Amino acid sequence: MNKDNVRLAIAPIGWTNDDLPELGNENTFQQIISEMALAGFSGSEVGNKYPRDPAVLKPMLEMRGLQIVNAWFSTFFAKGNKAKTIDEFINHRDFLHAMGAKVIGCSEQSRSIQGTDKAVLEDKPCFSDEEWRLTAEGYNQLAELAAEKEMQVCLHHHMGTGIQTTEEIDRFMAMTNDNVYLLYDTGHAYYSEGCQQKMLAILIRYLPRINHVHLKDVRNSIIEQVRLEHLSFLDGVKRGTFTVPGDGDIDFEPVFTALDKANYKGWMVVEAEQDPALANPFEYAVKARGYLRDKAGI
């Protein structure tokens, strides 16, 4: 891949999990960012242990050669919480802008089951026509608010949410304006659709509107356990559904090839939530960085 176009970041979720704070509670903020830098990454997303004051956070990152590239934002348009979502988005946008980030990754969390004990492969929400209308209308407005700071909004398709499957991604992209982008996540696409071919089809279809990429590998054996035992999303995480690129069952080379051919410019973020007691985060960060050097040439 063209080194001038792409930069590599890693998410703190491998060290400490926002949805399951007991995973990695022992890992400190200073340790997390030091190990990210030592593993060879230049960017980070934001975790629950990060200071939210740019005056505090920015110098701590800069001395390690890191910058913030994105931070998760939950939207609740489908359930009608537009005013609250917009208000909180503006504060979130301004924080990310102060940190120098260019994209804002959002997930529509109305009726999401990703943090519940419901079976993730069977009980996900399906939006009504009205919920779709509210969601699309809301994201079109977020894109305008982001543009005020020369930033871009992207939708993170996610297991257990109303925008998870190929068909749901298609509907969302068709209903929103061209300045609403897609945060493409290899792990969630493969997990939802069940195979490499369908995962790649989403990427190729929306390359012009993808502005942020999460590189997440999956273990098919654990996905099969989730299916057979009707497990929740978080039960799967604890068992090891996800891992870093090169350690699971996804072939990432076609992903890198497609992005490179499309002249993708932006961040690629290693994101692999595991139990850090079972998968040492620094060890896996180093493993991911080596894989990206070997397979993507960056």
**Domain contains 159:** yes
DSSP 139: H
Let me know: does 180 contact 143? Beta carbons within 8 Å: yes
Give the SS3 label for residue 212.
strand
Distance between alpha carbon 44 and the CA centroid of its chain, in Å? 12
Q: How far apart are CA 163 and CA 156, in angstroms?
A: 8
Query: Could you report the per-residue pLDDT of 135-186, keeping only the tens digit for each?
Result: 999 999 999 999 999 999 999 999 999 999 999 999 999 999 999 999 999 9
pTM surpassing 0.75?
yes
Query: What residues are paired with 272 via a beta bridge?
Result: none
Q: Where are the beta strands (DSSP E) in the chain?
A: 6-10, 43-45, 67-70, 73-75, 103-108, 152-156, 180-185, 210-215, 217-218, 242-243, 266-270
pLDDT(24) > 90: no
Is 213 contained in some domain? yes
For residue 235 the two structure tokens come to 């039960």
Is 86 inside any structural domain?
yes
We report the CATH number of the domain holding residue 33 as 3.20.20.150
Nearest to 3 by CA among 278, 289, 264: 264
Q: Can you give the residue range of the structural domain that contains 253? A: 6-296
Task: Count other Cβ atoms within 10 Å, centred on residue 63.
Answer: 11
Mean pLDDT (whole number) for 197-202: 98
Predicted local distance difference test score (pLDDT) of residue 228: 98
Amino acid 17: pLDDT: 86
Sign of CA dihedral 104, 105, 107, 113: negative
Backbone angles phi, psi at 227, to 5 degrees: -70, -50
Residue 35 lies in a domain: yes
Do the beta carbons of residue 101 and residue 122 sit within 8 Å? Answer: no
Comparing CA positions, the residue from 39, 40, 32, 41 lying closest to residue 60 is 32
At 105-125, the pLDDT tens digits run 999 999 999 999 999 999 999
Residue-level pLDDT at 19: 80
Query: What total of structural domains would you count in the chain?
Result: 1
pLDDT at 22: 81
For residue 1, being part of any structural domain is answered with: no
Look up residue 13 and give its two tokens.
């979720």
Write the single-letter amino acid at 26.
E
Q: Are 273 and 13 in contact (CB under 8 A)?
A: yes
Nearest to 95 by CA among 76, 75, 72: 72
Amino acid at 218: V
Query: How does the average pLDDT of the chain come out, rounded?
Result: 97
